[in-house]
Structure 1
Amino acid sequence: MRFSVLVLFLTCFFLPGYSQSQTLQRPAARWIKADQDIRTAITRYDVPGASIMVIEHGRIVWTHAYGKRDIQHNLAVQMDTHFEIGSITKQFTAVSILQLRDAGKLKLDDPLSVYLPDAPHAKEVTLRNLLTHTSGLHDYLDGPPAEIDRLAALPISYHDLLSRVAAMPLDFPPGSQWSYSNTGYLLLGKVIEVVSGEPYRDYIQQRILNPLGMRNTFTTADESHLPNMAIGYRHENGVQAIAPFIDPSWGSSAGFLISTPEDLSRWDAALHGGKVVSPASYREMTTAFMTTKNGSADYGFGLFVDSMYGQPRVGHTGGAQGFTAADEYFPEQDTRIIALTNSGDKTPEAGETLTNIVFADLYPSIAANALKPATEENSLVTQAAGAAFRELQTGANYMHFSSRLKDKFAHGSGEKFKTSLSPYGPASAAIFRHTRLEGGYQWYDYLILFGPGVSIPFSVRMDQDGVVAGFSIG
């Protein structure tokens, strides 16, 4: 599929709420390289369409639209095309909770039972646990993909959604570990309604969207009325198809917003600039929660607080049936990259892939240094690790694995790894990161590369015969 450049603005303009510091003027070759690498990824992973925005030092310095928002009708993506943004919605939910906290209407360390006494495990988990995905509540969206597709096409009540997990025990003691759970943000949406006395949708409209002039942010319930709405796609058995419909009741405060890059840039500027919550509250949002068992959760309130290419990164991705999105801020470079796509494939997620590509092409020396192999590399282990990963992707022979693991692969797990890893395509390199001792074993940590913007952490431990006796992915 050929993709034409629809919009390319190399002039800069200020966003309200961002500081007006001087924008770094980049050589045109950097933008050309970014465009080429984006096109390569879009073609490799068969992404129908995307819109991308780059903001440096408070100025929009680059916008670019690619591909089709509607393949059947040959309609091109434009910069004002609407995309579902999935879990980026969680930032809006977190801000709403902080607004109510700052108004003295709730406390983050209150048990959930103060506001929702009948919720599952309400006396055990706090609002802070829900905000940081450390509650231990099971995710109501867990289940066989085909079953979720079938169920999610139909409206469902809040109580019926909760009933999917209400009888389940907590996955771990609250605060001890981190596990992403949409259930927490569904419950936070209900807390907002109880405390404010308003429906969640009305609250964010009146307290966030209207004051910030976000006229192009809606919910999935509005899609049929929007003339420039993208159609969502995903691959089924290797063939691109229109993604299944998901009823708005399944996303709600966990992920039912749709938007454009420009509207998200308004949101980001206001959030970063203290216009929707105080600077102190924003610092809370962007501070990673520390679990009692595993240390940093790499997650604050509605935002991941992690790193990419060795650089601090604050942001979130969003995934829906037919869409993936990413809105990522790199504080040391004062650079924000927003990518919205109508590809629902998760291996890899197109939104994050595109933001990674743009960052690497804007800061090539940083990216190159981050991908240098560590000095104590064992070449034989690296070769075995690379070969073992290829075998997981292809489901072939597993000659680089121990007999114990071969047996597990033969009884079903092999096909699962093949299904999840094969869409990435052939790896371009296995980059050695370091060794570590864990559980009495020496582990070798690698980063498997698949071309611009796409990588997977892969760790192995070897047995005395030089084959993989244990491994972890991600």
Structure 2
Amino acid sequence: MTNPKIQQPLRILFILASIGSLYFVPWVLVKAWILPLPDSVQEQLEEGIEQGFDGMIVYVDQGGKSPEFYATGWHDRNKKIPAYPQALFKIASITKLYVAVTTTKLVKEGRLSLDKTLVEYFPELEGRIENADRITLRMMVQHRSGIPNFTDHPEYWIKPPTSKQETLNYALDLPADFEPGEDYGYSNTNYLLISDLIDKTVGYPHQQYIREEILAPLGLKNTYTSLSEVDMDEVMSGYYVGIDKDFKTEDTGLMLATAEDVGIFLRALNDGSIFDEGEQEIYSSIYAYEHTGLLPGYQSIAKYHKDIDTVVIQFNNTSNFDGYDWNLAEIIYNRVVKIVRQDRED
């Protein structure tokens, strides 16, 4: 137990340290956090635009109520097209949820095994990925493989890859981040390999499997697996702070969708209706029920809040990997959820 005589000096030191730490926090984040909570989601999004985002979209699906749609800012700031809720958006790593569901279905069908190793599936990677003989599919799905993340390679952003093989090359012949199964390390390389494995297993692109086995049963007609499938005018522009460029034409190989389609998918994932018998138990053992996404020009958050039976999807089309935009997006998202929760309680 702390001596009472030194408790007061410790409190003073703690306060001074806390005040000092504010010098290292962008004031826009402090302001966004301490501002009085607005009365509506729309007002909160408008605050987000004032704080630096070019455009924002939010979808709210409360159980037992009709979905609500919100948008503000620019869909395309150069053409002065206002943001609208039905726009297509690059959902980035939220794509991993669809890949994890696909993996689950193939495991249940007996076409994949979570306990087989990487080298069993890809013999050619022996000696190219450290511990390939001990890394299992389960570890890759759970980001517990220790395989380096290709986007962390120092040349990835300087010399962007133009093919899957070039992308994978940025993760080959490197030391493992940790021993298989001994730690957690988010790595896009895991899901690049899993997607290739699905292609190899089903005999056609995994995107087709996702369309036929996940999107079609849910009636999701505004979710696309490739930029080549869409009308570019419907894609929300994406902006990176300090760069005068629209990133919407950059093909990342990841999915695009409306906020509503992501919300419908997320509810089906959480209530289990996306699964056939025996699949949900497998999925629950290997992956999460929510996700975020981040690309140059695109930030997304997709979560289900069980306590209020509500799905909240947030898109914003401004990013800065070295800045504070992600923190700002999370602050705004949490405030949106708080507004929804208060409205529900009222």
Whose helix proportion is higher, 1 or 2?
2
Q: Provide the TM-score with structure 1 as the length reference.
A: 0.59
Cα distance in 2, alignment partners of residues 33 and 122 from structure 1: 51
Structure 1 residue runs without a partner (length 5+): 1-29, 288-299, 304-313, 366-474
Give the CA deviation at 1:282: 3.1
Q: Secondary structure in 2 aligned to 1:211?
A: helix
Structure 1 pair 315–124 and aligned structure 2 pair: CA distance change class (3 A): same
Checking the alignment, whether the CA contact within 8 Å between 2:150 and 2:156 is kept in structure 1 is no
Cα distance in 2, alignment partners of residues 224 and 247 from structure 1: 13
Give the CA deviation at 1:148: 3.3
Give the CA deviation at 1:183: 0.3
Indicate the percent of aligned positions where both proteins have the same amino acid. 27
Q: Secondary structure in 2 aligned to 1:51?
A: strand
Specify the alignment match of 2:257 in structure 1.
Answer: 259
Cα distance in 1, alignment partners of residues 201 and 280 from structure 2: 21
Specify the alignment match of 1:34 in structure 2.
Answer: 41
Specify the alignment match of 2:144 in structure 1.
Answer: 134
Checking the alignment, whether the CA contact within 8 Å between 1:47 and 1:342 is kept in structure 2 is yes
Give the CA deviation at 1:327: 0.5
Specify the alignment match of 1:209 in structure 2.
Answer: 215
Q: Secondary structure in 2 aligned to 1:129?
A: helix
Specify the alignment match of 1:338 in structure 2.
Answer: 313
Whose strand proportion is higher, 1 or 2?
1
The one-letter amino acid of 2:162's match is P
Q: State the number of aligned residues.
A: 300
Checking the alignment, whether the CA contact within 8 Å between 1:111 and 1:123 is kept in structure 2 is yes
1:354 aligns with 2:329: no
Specify the alignment match of 1:227 in structure 2.
Answer: 233
Checking the alignment, whether the CA contact within 8 Å between 1:245 and 1:321 is kept in structure 2 is no
Checking the alignment, whether the CA contact within 8 Å between 1:136 and 1:173 is kept in structure 2 is yes
1:148 to 136, 152, 156: 156
Per-residue CA deviations over 1:327-373 (Å, capped at 9, x if unaligned) read 011222222110112112342325534321211223369xxxxxxxx
Structure 1 pair 281–355 and aligned structure 2 pair: CA distance change class (3 A): farther
The one-letter amino acid of 2:279's match is S
Specify the alignment match of 1:411 in structure 2.
Answer: none
Per-residue CA deviations over 1:354-407 (Å, capped at 9, x if unaligned) read 321211223369xxxxxxxxxxxxxxxxxxxxxxxxxxxxxxxxxxxxxxxxxx
Specify the alignment match of 2:14 in structure 1.
Answer: none
Specify the alignment match of 1:271 in structure 2.
Answer: 269
Cα distance in 2, alignment partners of residues 279 and 336 from structure 1: 24
Structure 1 pair 257–178 and aligned structure 2 pair: CA distance change class (3 A): same
Specify the alignment match of 1:316 in structure 2.
Answer: 291
Q: Secondary structure in 2 aligned to 1:317?
A: strand
Q: Secondary structure in 1 aligned to 2:58?
A: strand
Give the CA deviation at 1:134: 0.6
1:47 aligns with 2:24: no
Structure 1 pair 241–32 and aligned structure 2 pair: CA distance change class (3 A): farther
Cα distance in 2, alignment partners of residues 334 and 245 from structure 1: 33
The one-letter amino acid of 2:153's match is G
Specify the alignment match of 1:242 in structure 2.
Answer: 245
Per-residue CA deviations over 1:94-118 (Å, capped at 9, x if unaligned) read 0110010111111112112222222
Cα distance in 2, alignment partners of residues 283 and 56 from structure 1: 25
Checking the alignment, whether the CA contact within 8 Å between 1:232 and 1:343 is kept in structure 2 is yes
Structure 1 pair 352–60 and aligned structure 2 pair: CA distance change class (3 A): farther
Specify the alignment match of 1:329 in structure 2.
Answer: 304
Q: Secondary structure in 2 aligned to 1:227?
A: helix
Q: Secondary structure in 1 aligned to 2:240?
A: strand
Cα distance in 2, alignment partners of residues 358 and 340 from structure 1: 12
Q: CA RMSD in A?
A: 2.5
Greater alpha carbon shift after TM alignment, 159-168 vs 99-108:
159-168
Checking the alignment, whether the CA contact within 8 Å between 1:317 and 1:352 is kept in structure 2 is no
Cα distance in 1, alignment partners of residues 132 and 334 from structure 2: 39
Specify the alignment match of 1:92 in structure 2.
Answer: 98
Cα distance in 2, alignment partners of residues 220 and 91 from structure 1: 16
Per-residue CA deviations over 1:115-172 (Å, capped at 9, x if unaligned) read 222232431211111111110000011134xx434422x522x222222221012111
Give the CA deviation at 1:224: 6.5
1:6-85 alignment runs, 5 A limit: 32-44=39-51, 46-57=52-63, 59-85=65-91
Greater alpha carbon shift after TM alignment, 116-125 vs 272-281:
272-281
Checking the alignment, whether the CA contact within 8 Å between 1:243 and 1:344 is kept in structure 2 is no
Per-residue CA deviations over 1:273-324 (Å, capped at 9, x if unaligned) read 333324753355445xxxxxxxxxxxx52x3xxxxxxxxxx51110111100
Structure having greater relative contact order (Cα 8 Å, sep ≥ 6): 2
Cα distance in 2, alignment partners of residues 103 and 284 from structure 1: 11
Per-residue CA deviations over 1:13-54 (Å, capped at 9, x if unaligned) read xxxxxxxxxxxxxxxxx983433333223311x111111011
Cα distance in 2, alignment partners of residues 196 and 49 from structure 1: 39
1:274-293 alignment runs, 5 A limit: 274-278=272-276, 281-286=279-284
Q: Secondary structure in 1 aligned to 2:233?
A: coil
